[in-house]
Structure 1
Amino acid sequence: MTSPVLLVLVGPSGVGKGTVVRRLREKHPQIVLSVSATTRAPRVGEVDAVHYHFISPQRFDALVTEGGMLEWAQVFGLDKYGTPRQPVLDALAEGHPVILEIDLEGARQVRGTMPDALFVFLAPPSPEELERRLVERGTEAPEAIARRLATARTEMASMGEFDAVVTNVDVEQAASELARLMGLE
């Protein structure tokens, strides 16, 4: 039997990471989706240890100092977000594949701490399709969409850093491709 895989999944906002991961986990419920930690307060409806691990800035800093984060960042100079190391190691030790759905900088940090992970970039079929998806979500102003598209260009320029690129033309196909890369299909 092969060791369980740690999949580090990166892709631009609007590419469908969450949707593809949900479908992948429906097909393979043994997969653990890593829950990030944050120093921000919970939003209405968010549940601790489900949406995030909500922790104090002091505890977060202690985890960073102790090497207890696989990756972390301070966002907009305010709240900190990161991936706690121990839950990932525990799930892998229990034989579960684990997915980290994180940003490009986080993936670069994880490559330094867990270089044997599988790094996959989820790409849109085209920049035009990505823009269409962001607009159709209807959740952001045009200025925010423009910022996300600028970030997406930077992210897509990094695709060569990844072990594989999966293009999300179809959710079912993308989920199957990820499962195949993880050795689950």
Structure 2
Amino acid sequence: MVDPRLSDTRPVTALARRGLMFILSSPSGAGKTTIARKLLQSDPGVALSVSATTRAIRPGEVDGRDYHFVDKPTFDRMADDHEFLEWAHVFGHSYGTPKAQIWAGLKAGTDFLFDIDWQGTQQLSQRAREDVVPVFILPPSIDELRRRLMARGTDDMKVIEARMDRARAEISHWSDYDYVVVNDDIDRCFEKVRRILDAERMRRERQTGLVNFVRQLTGEGSPT
């Protein structure tokens, strides 16, 4: 007869865990926005970090969901008052991550997804390295990157060439990231990114409830 203790399939009680800041960076056209969207759709435990920006709202966007749309004086005041975890100027506009909501979310165990460039990643790493998981997505080739940008049909050649120049500059910072994934197939790339997130969630130092749980297992303490 099988020992019933060995066939117990009850789920382990969820342990308290500190959230993390999961960063996806890539040159424009390499696929990070598509992968970010797939991650948000497939994983309810991930929340999108909503940045403040000075750029104009676009059709279909919602203030507070896609971005916090603010004017330049407001953005500058927030930067002066150190309300951002990171901020940068990109293509004539300013973008920044309000820090109050992030700190509260991390403490509650929320994982935040960041779609930012290497400058923002550098700033986040300087301020909260233990909470940051930076992932850089590379295109399979420069020619393929150019083809993807042209296939969008939204930019003229002058803008595309500017994006290509910026892409080369961004790619040069690949070594600043903990993980680097080549996007030669969007589904394979997404699966690799998802596995990175799963593994990082299990890091011992992020599982804040682990000490008490292990003490219960070894009889060294009682539930708190």
So what's the TM-score if we normalise by structure 1? 0.89
Counterparts in 2 of 1:136 and 1:75: CA distance versus 1, 3 Å: closer
- Tell me whether 1:147 sits opposite 2:162 in the alignment: yes
Per the alignment, in what secondary structure is the counterpart of residue 87 of structure 2? Answer: strand
102, 106, 109: which one pairs with 1:95?
A: 109
Distance 2:153 2:192 in 1: 28
- Tell me whether 1:23 sits opposite 2:38 in the alignment: yes
Per the alignment, in what secondary structure is the counterpart of residue 109 of structure 1? Answer: helix
Counterparts in 2 of 1:25 and 1:44: CA distance versus 1, 3 Å: closer
- The residue identity in structure 2 corresponding to 1:93 is K
Q: Which moved more, 1:157-166 or 1:103-112?
A: 103-112
Q: What's the Cα RMSD here?
A: 1.9
Conservation of the 8 A alpha-carbon contact between 1:166 and 1:177: yes
Conservation of the 8 A alpha-carbon contact between 2:24 and 2:36: no
- Greater relative CO, 1 or 2 (CA 8 Å, sep 6+): 1
So what's the TM-score if we normalise by structure 2? 0.75
Corresponding residue pairs, total? 184
Larger Rg: 2
Conservation of the 8 A alpha-carbon contact between 1:17 and 1:122: yes
Instruction: Quote how far apart the aligned CAs of 1:25 are.
Output: 1.6
Q: How does 1:27-176 map to 2 (within 5 A)?
A: 27-75=42-90, 79-116=93-130, 117-176=132-191
Counterpart of 1:5 in structure 2 is 20
Distance 2:56 2:153 in 1: 25
Distance 1:8 1:141 in 2: 29
Instruction: Quote how far apart the aligned CAs of 1:44 are.
Output: 3.7
- The residue identity in structure 1 corresponding to 2:19 is P
Counterparts in 2 of 1:79 and 1:143: CA distance versus 1, 3 Å: closer
Instruction: Quote how far apart the aligned CAs of 1:90 are.
Output: 2.4
Distance 2:185 2:43 in 1: 18
Conservation of the 8 A alpha-carbon contact between 1:35 and 1:53: yes
Distance 1:75 1:15 in 2: 17
Conservation of the 8 A alpha-carbon contact between 2:48 and 2:114: yes
4+ long deviations beyond 4 Å: none
Instruction: Quote how far apart the aligned CAs of 1:123 are.
Output: 0.8
Distance 1:40 1:131 in 2: 25
Conservation of the 8 A alpha-carbon contact between 1:23 and 1:171: no
